[in-house]
Amino acid sequence: MITDELELTSAKVILRAACDVYPNAGELPVIECITPKCRAVIALQGAQILSFCPSDGHELLWLSPLETFEYGKAIRGGIPLCLPWFGVNRREPAFAKHGFARNQSWSLDNVTETDGGDLALRFLFQPSAEDLQIFPWAFSVQLDVLLSDTLALNLSVLNSSDKAMPLSFAMHSYFAVSGLSALALDGLDGTEYLDNCQNLKQCRQEETLRFSGEIDRVYEGVSGTQTLRDGARAISVKGTACDTVVVWNPGAVLADTIADVGAHFTEYVCVERGMAFADELLLEPGQRHEASMTMAATST
């Protein structure tokens, strides 16, 4: 059983087994962070944030209640980090979707508390020899997480190989919502998108996005801030150097075929930030790309 605990000035960081936090879970290690401003849970597998609950008591993120937390298996919900490629690998379509970093252990490198009572955590990842057999570029990843009244992620990827490295990624955030019928997403009006429900047909967003069925859209070169309006609550998603916005909800028909979603599809919407499709990067040897995403919920 994992029982390590770190006491800071006003915050506490506890290393646990997932089964100590979630029903039906296994022994996958997670970190529970408790501060005066929030409570968060982060899995060491994928450095994946599973929960972020500000002091107002309203959970920002959705985690599937059907999740079993198996080693090496993608965790449905929270904020998976999809890299070094997002979606289908465009060079080798037979490879697993969304890369391999989300299904492997990351190391917790540092934990600090700011004078203002925010909690900062740093996670590191490097590919294994087996990873390099399928993705032959040496690279390293650093994720800095800042837990405050808001949730902020800074992702840094360094190409440490001797050749240019293709990189696409997404911070694949699942946001908890009260339902889909009255939900609206602002900040994409007047932009072009690729509709994955129509074989990536190029379309134009003419008005506020609403959710009446399956949505799977990629907005390239968007940047800025998107706002998810859910009744009396608004969730803002702001990104820097992660100009691709991906919006996804499977709808009833597809959700029925996804074992860890099913009838729970009405409980979340994914609004993701990254660099993918036309925004994919080519990092030169020694080049680093840094991207940040900040999420906040406010009453309207």
Proportion of the chain above pLDDT 70, given as a percent: 99
User: Which residues, in sequence order, are bridge partners of residue 201?
Assistant: 195
Q: Given pLDDT bands bounded at 50, 70 and 90, which one contains residue 2?
A: very low
User: Which of the two residues, 68 and 195, has the higher pLDDT score?
Assistant: 195
Q: How far is CA 94 from the centre of its chain?
A: 23
* Nearest Cα residue to 239 out of 202, 265, 211, 276: 276
pLDDT of 1 higher than 80: no
pLDDT for residue 6: 86
pLDDT digits (tens, 9 = 90+) for 15-33: 999 999 998 788 899 999 9
Q: What average pLDDT does the structure give for the chain?
A: 95
> At residue 190, what is the residue type?
G
**Whole-number Å distance between alpha carbons of 161 and 126:** 12
**Whole-number Å distance between alpha carbons of 84 and 122:** 19
pLDDT digits (tens, 9 = 90+) for 166-177: 999 999 999 999
Question: How much is the average pLDDT of 71-76?
Answer: 95
pLDDT for residue 25: 85
For the beta carbon of residue 215, count every other beta carbon within 10 angstroms: 20
pLDDT digits (tens, 9 = 90+) for 249-284: 999 999 999 999 999 999 999 999 999 999 999 999
Question: How much is the average pLDDT of 227-249?
Answer: 97
pLDDT digits (tens, 9 = 90+) for 82-115: 999 999 998 888 899 999 999 999 999 999 999 8
- CB neighbours of 159 closer than 8 A, spacing ≥ 6? 137, 138, 139, 165, 167, 283, 284, 285, 286, 287, 288
